[in-house]
Amino acid sequence: MRGGNALVCSLLLLLGLTTTFCSGANVTYDHRALVIDGKRRVLVSGSIHYPRSTPEMWPDLIQKSKDGGLDVIETYVFWNLHESVRGKYDFEGRKDLVKFVKLVAEAGLYVHLRIGPYVCAEWNYGGIPLWLHFIPGIVMRTDNEPFKAEMKRFTAKIVDMMKQEKLYASQGGPIILSQIENEYGNIDSAFGNSAKTYINWAASMATSLDTGVPWVMCQQNDAPDPIINTCNGFYCDQFTPNANNKPKMWTENWSGWFVTYGEAVPYRPVEDLAFAVARFYQLGGTFQNYYMYHGGTNFDRTSGGPLATTSYDYDAPIDEYGLIRQPKWGHLKDVHKAVKLCEDAIVATDPKTTSLGSNLEATVYKTESGLCAAFLANFGTQSAATVNFNGNSYQLPAWSVSILPDCKNVVLNTAKINSVATISKFIGQPSKDDTTATGASFSSWSWINEPVGISSNSAFTKPGLLEQINTTADQSDYLWYSISTETKGGDAVLHVDSLGHTLHAFINGQLAGSGIGKSGDTKVSIDVPVSLIAGKNEIDLLSSTVGLQNYGAYYDKKGAGVTGPVQLKGLQNGSIVDLSSQQWTYQIGLRGEELGLSSGTSTLWASQPTLPKNQPLVWYKASFDAPTGSSPVALDFTGMGKGEAWINGQSIGRYWPTNIARNSVCTDSCNYRGSYNSNKCLKNCGKPSQQLYHVPRSWIKPSGNILVLFEQTGGDPTQLTFATREVQNICSRISETHPIPVDMWTSDEESRKRTGPTLSLSCPSENQIISKIKFASFGTPVGTCGSFTHGRCSSGKARSVVEKVQILTDIL
C-alpha cells in the first residue's frame, strides 16, 4: 500500500538463525574503529544482563537481538551475585556466565564483558559484595590496598574462567572487549589525588591479565593508554576520545530509564533514540551499545537504588518479558541496516562535516576509490527544513537525520518510521472465584503470623541505636529494634527518625504507625500518637531496606535503619523521654526467614479458622496450576501491600503495589523533538509504580505449584491473579514522504519509484493470523496506534481495500 494511511488490525514475530565461531581473531583498534582481523568494523551492541532473565529465555533474547541487527551483546559481571561469601563462588542457573557467553557465540555474535567489578546498574550495592565493607582499613574504589587486592582477585577469577573456556576472541571465542571500573570519572574528584593512582593501577592490572582484546573505561576522560575511554549518556555524538589513536565508542546509550517506587514510569520515543544513534555514527562513532536492549527483572533482593522497582524493563527494544517492543525494535533495526549500508565508507576515511544552515549539517564519508556515504541532520527542535546537498533537495523533519548510503538517495530518516507498532496487554487469567476456570487459580490458602518483636534465639542487646546495614550485613531486608519502658500510662507521641527505607512502630504488639522513604530521600521521620499502659510498655520498631545504594562517591557508607532520636513526647508532666541511648534488643531478619518459610515445605502452615486479611506481618501460602498457553506470565498484586513473593522456592522479587506514582508529572503525549532526559516522558501517574511482576514460565510446573508471600503491611491475597502478556494488535502508518523500506533500498531511481513507500504488516508469531481489520484510512488520519481517527481527507474505500488484501494473503 502507498500514500498517507494508517492501519490497525488484530494480530502478533519470531525468527531463527545460527552461526558459530571457529578460529581465533586478532582484535585491536585505531583512531576510527575496533579492528577485527585487520578490518575496521562498525558495530552495534546491546546490553542483556544474564541474571535479569532466565537461562531458558537467553537463546530467544539473543536471537531477537541478532534479528534486530546487533553485532555484540554487552553484559556486566555481578560480583556480589557470584561471591556473596568470600571465596565461595556460584555460577549456577541464572548466574551461569559461561553458558550465557557461549550462547551468544552460538548465535554468531560478539561479547563485550564489563567486569567492573563495580557495576552500578541499579543493582544492590552496585554489585560489590557487602562483606568487603567489613574488611579492616578498606576504602572502596580508591588507591587502597585491601580493596585493590580483592578487586584484582575477582577480576582475575573471571578472566581465568573465560580463558579456560577459550571465550576470548584471541582464543576463537566471542569476547572482543572487556571493561574495568565503571563511570568512575563521574565521582573521582571526591577521592582527590588517590583517584588518579587508582585508575592507573586498575588499567595496569587489567592489561596484565593478557586477555588478547582491548580494555575500556567508560566515563573516564583520563583513562591511560592503552585503555579506550568511552561515553555513556542519552547522546554521545559530541564525545571525543582522549587520544588520537582511540576510536569513538558509546558504551551506554540509554534506551529509556529505570523506575523507582513512588515515581512514574519513564519512556523514550524511538524517533529520539534513532536520532541519537544516527548522529553518533554521523560524527565519527563506530561502536554503539544500547543500555538496555533487554532490561529484564530484578529477581530476589537484587534491586538497588534504593527503592528501584523489581521490574528493570527500561523501555528497551525487547521488553521485560522477552517480547519485541514495536516500533522501537523495528525502527532501530532499520537504522542499523541503513548504517551498515554505509559501513565501507565510514571505516575507510574520516568524516567531513559542513553546515547547511542554522541547526543543519551534512557529514560525508568519501574516498578516492569512489565510496561515498552521507548523513544530513536537522538538530533544530521546531520545524522541518529543506536543504540543498550535492545539487539535490532534501526535506529534513525537525530533530532528525537522513542517511544516504550513496551520497544521493535517502534510505532512512530517523523521524519516519516504516516499522509496525504493536500494542501489548496483560490479559487476566481466571480468578479463584471463577467456578468455570481451569488453571491459574489459587487454592489451599494457609498462613503463618510473623511474630511482632523479638522471637529468635540469636537476638542480642546493645546500648544505643545501631545502623542497620552494619548490623544485618544485608542478610535480610529487616531489622527489629525492641525496648521496654516503664510509664504511668496515658497518651503520648512516639517520635522516631530513621535513615530508611521503611519503618513500622508497634506498641505492645499493635501497629501504631508507619513511614516510608522517597526516591532521592529515603529518610523516614514519624510522630505517632500512642496510648501507653501503666507499667511496662513494649516498643518494637521494624525497619526494612528496599535495595541498597548503588551509585555515588563513598556510596557504601550510606546507612539505613533507625539512628534516632527515638522519643516519647507529651507524657503526663509534659516531659520528653529519649530512649535512644538505652539498652535495645536487636533481631536480624524475620522468624519466617529463619524457618525457611519461603520454600513452602514447613509443617507450621495453618489453614483454620479464617484466612487473615489486611493484617501486617503475615506469611501466606497457596497452590496453583500453570496459566494456560505459552505467553509470558505476570502476577497482579492488586490488593496486596508490600513484601516479597516466591514461586516454588524462587523469589520473583519485592512487590509494593501500594506505592503510588506522583500524579503531577505525566503528560498525555511526549514530543520527541529536543534533548531527552529521564523526566521528559512519563506515564502511569497516580497508579502503582509497579503492579504486575514477572513470573518466568520455566519456574512454573503444569500443576502443583506453590506460591509463598511475606506481606509486610497488610493485604488480601485472595485478590491475586495471574495475567499473560499478549500482543493482540498491530498498527502501521506510512506517508508519501516515507523512504521505501530499508530492505528494498536500491540506488536505482527507477526501481525506487516503482516500489515507493510501502506499508507491510505481519503477525509477530507464527501461530497467529490477521483476524480482523479494525481501522484503515487513506488520506490524513490522526492519532497514534490504538487511537487512530479519520482526518479531514479520507477515502471511504480504504478499509474494504485492505480487507480484500487480507483475504488474498490468507488464501496465498
> Helix or strand or coil: residue 601?
coil
Write the DSSP symbol of residue 466. P
Q: Coil, strand, or helix at residue 26?
A: coil
Query: Across-strand partners of 449?
Result: 618
- Decide if 708 contacts 619 (C-beta within 8 A): yes
Residues 415 and 400: beta-carbon distance below 8 Å: yes
Grid coordinates standing for 784?
497514534
Q: How many helices (H) and strands (E) does the chain have?
A: 12, 39
183 flagged as catalytic? yes
Helix/strand/coil (H/E/C) assignment for every residue in 468-508 = HHHHHCCCCCEEEEEEEEEEEEEEEEEEEEECCCEEEEEEC
Cell numbers of 263, please? 515515581
Catalytic residue among 83, 150, 183, 320: 183
**DSSP run (H or E) holding 515:** strand 510-516
Q: Which cell numbers hold the place of 14?
A: 519470531
Nearest to 616 by CA among 650, 640, 652: 640
Contacts for 405 with CB less than 8 Å, ≥ 6 apart: 338, 341, 342, 345, 373, 411, 745, 747
User: Do 430 and 411 meet the contact criterion of CB atoms below 8 Å apart?
Assistant: no
CB 260 within 8 A of CB 549: no
Apex 375 CA angle, 370 and 380, nearest 5: 160
Catalytic pick from 252, 271, 343, 450?
A: 252
Nearest one of 520, 507, 609 to 566, comparing CA atoms? 507
Distance of CA 39 to the CA centre of its chain: 33
**∠ CA 168-33-24 to the nearest 5 degrees?**
25
Decide: residue 443, CB within 10 A, 0-12 exposed, 13-18 middle, 19+ buried. exposed
Could you confirm whether 644 is annotated as catalytic? no
Q: Cβ of 683: how many Cβ atoms within 10 Å?
A: 16
Query: Which residues are annotated as catalytic?
Result: 183, 252
